[in-house]
Amino acid sequence: MIIDRLYDEVQRKGNVCVGLDISMDYIPANIRVKYQDVDETIFQFNKRIIDSTVDIVPIYKLQIAYYEAQGIKGLIAYKKTLEYIKHIGSLSIGDIKRGDISSTAKMYGKAHFKGDFEADFITLNPYMGFDSITPYLSYIEKGNKGIFVLLRTSNPGARDIQYLDVGDSSLYYHIGDRLSQLSYKHIGTSGYSPIGAVVGGTHIDEAKSIRDRYKNMFFLIPGYGHQGAKGEDVALYLRKGNGGVVNSSRGILLAYRKYEDGEESFDRYARAQVLAMKEDIESERRL
């Protein structure tokens, strides 16, 4: 089962998920000059980041909007990057945050769990209703795909909707309880389900409650670094050092800008940032 693969990768490599959310102005000028074509420029930048970190990173996340913004060639880079991650035996998250009616969701499933944009996991938005989630379950039942569903996100606007009172608890708990009911049908040998949740690392007040309430849900945890979350914050969402991956994008991709020789060695500085982040998280992990 795909979640057991991810669990094992985290056990071996740590919790850092590198977010390959690539804007063209993130890429050093020497790379842009060398390759010129948008798709090859982005792919070659991604490839060097991946090659320099794959032994210490369990999974990579690609936010599709950054690639869509570059048009067809951006989507070609998205495709090539996902294919390369698969080729080297690593894991990927297509951060697509889709949420639509059942018939449309079936097409999104076909697009992102098969064919050109195939990823191991995708992110989904449940706030249109759970019939927007169920079309993906057929892929999960086969054991080789997983989803991370938005639960309580890291952005300030999360409180506008996710914290609304529903009965005696917040809406995000209502979403989580429904997800938990689905997840129990698909528990792997690791004790986790491939039906996971996105929980923002910047909101720590409810962290222990969320972790205790959803023991079998694996978490994708954004918000580290640029958005303000620290190792001590995101560690609250882990169990015995596992049960979640912590995403960082700009903090890793742009680490090279702190150094005079950064453009030539951007991949080396990305690796150093991953190692520093890994140490920060591991120093704070709870049992």
Q: Which pLDDT tens digit goes with each residue over 39-80?
A: 999 999 999 999 999 999 999 999 999 999 999 999 999 999
pLDDT bin (cut points 50, 70, 90) of residue 260 is: confident
Residue pLDDT, tens place only, 206-225: 888 899 999 999 999 998 87
Model pLDDT, residue 286: 58
Model pLDDT, residue 233: 86
Higher pLDDT, 160 or 145: 145
Torsion of CA 156, 158, 160, 166, to 10 degrees: -150
Q: With a cut of 90, say whether residue 106 has pLDDT above it.
A: yes
Model pLDDT, residue 140: 94
Q: With a cut of 70, say whether residue 287 has pLDDT above it.
A: no
Higher pLDDT, 73 or 284: 73
Q: What's the length of the chain?
A: 287
N-terminal to C-terminal alpha carbon distance within the chain: 25
Is the CB of residue 92 less than 8 Å from the CB of residue 119? yes
Higher pLDDT, 84 or 287: 84
CA angle at 90 for the pair 97 and 109, rounded to the nearest 5°: 35
pLDDT, averaged across the chain: 91
Q: 215 exposed, middle or buried (CB, 10 Å; 0-12, 13-18, 19+)?
A: exposed
| Per-position b or e across 139-152, b if 16+ CB within 10 A of its CB | bbeeeebbbbbbbb
Q: Which helix (H) or strand (E) holds 218?
A: strand 217-221
H helices of the chain, where? 2-13, 29-35, 38-53, 64-68, 71-87, 102-113, 137-141, 158-161, 171-183, 207-213, 231-234, 250-253, 266-282
What's the token pair of residue 243? 């049960």
Model pLDDT, residue 200: 86
List domains and CATH numbers for the chain: 2-282 (3.20.20.70)
Residues recognised as catalytic: 97
